Structure 1
Amino acid sequence: MRSESESYRGYNAWGRAILQQEDILQRERYAASGTITQNNKVVEASGVLGYFDIDEQAQQAGLAWARAWVDSDG
């Protein structure tokens, strides 16, 4: 799993790329998810947001979800 984080409006937003490869002959794909933490505690976490061919795209999707959650509920 690869992740990227940023500080956003008093929260830490995380975008995660989770490798999804059931068979060695399949191409690599990445599931995107997002997590919001504050004071080292999980505030909210998404389920799988989608699947991407590039890990950075999955991470960015997770970060976008986390920012949107903070903007609407945080």
Structure 2
Amino acid sequence: KIIEKLTEKASSGMGKHLCRTLEPSTDLEVIRTMQVQTRDALTRLFQKGGISFGNVKDIRGSLKRLEIGSSLGILEILAV
């Protein structure tokens, strides 16, 4: 239920995907790092207000093509 509620709050498709794939950790160092990241994000939100990622384009496909040595078309370059 927590993951579902978090996913509903995400404003981009990629954000929703990241929410759905979240998994708990038992590694204390990973937990501490994630807590620091959460604290920093909340501090930023409280000081500056919300951030919208609604218009963010998913460029994972373009990045994969670049990794294998392909070139991008003009529309893909503009999206990046």
Same fold (TM over 0.5): no
More helix by share: 2
More strand by share: 1
Greater Rg by CA: 2
- TM-score (norm. length: structure 2): 0.28
- TM-score (norm. length: structure 1): 0.30
